[in-house]
Amino acid sequence: MEVEEKMGLLGRSGVILVGSTVIGKVKNVTIDISAEKIKEYTWDSDKPDALFSGNKSFTFGVEKLYVDSTYANYVRNGDVLATIVVRPEGTGSGKPTATLNSAILDKFSYKEAQNGIIGENVTGEAMDLVFGVQAA
């Protein structure tokens, strides 16, 4: 009997845009989707009488190599809506995308490693998350 090996995808491409301008490439992207639970109980039961999915939240975290203070200023000023496009299989027609739309950047951190690499981490929340494919 042969054992089939399955391999995960190697992340290939991700960018942050303000308008249509790419302001940075990203790596180590984390996207979380959560929904509030709405539960209604009646007096005669300790189990919910109704259970619904409520408001949705789309949070993210990205890492990139340090270029300048752009991201820190976006968080400080709080006046920029960004779009984050993640392309897990790289660029090309028909390849998948995950797009975080109307994203605010709400936390910035800076790190400098002993090997001289300087990095930035940015987190935030988007108004919407759309999964799609790249156009031709």
Domain assignment present for residue 7? The answer is: no
| Cβ-proximal residues to 130 (8 Å cutoff; 6+ apart), any chain | 98, 99, 101
CATH number at residue 125: 2.30.110.20
Note the pTM of the prediction, 2 decimals.
0.74
Domain assignment present for residue 22? The answer is: yes
Q: Is 71 helix (H, G, I), strand (E, B) or coil?
A: helix
Domain assignment present for residue 43? The answer is: yes
Domain assignment present for residue 106? The answer is: yes
Domain assignment present for residue 3? The answer is: no
Domain assignment present for residue 23? The answer is: yes
User: What is the predicted pLDDT for the residue at 3?
Assistant: 44
Give the span between the Cα atoms of 13 and 85, in whole angstroms: 8
Which tens digits make up the pLDDT trace of 63-81?
Answer: 876 666 777 777 788 778 8
Which tens digits make up the pLDDT trace of 12-44?
Answer: 678 888 888 887 788 888 899 999 999 999 999
- For residue 79, what are its two tokens? 């006046």
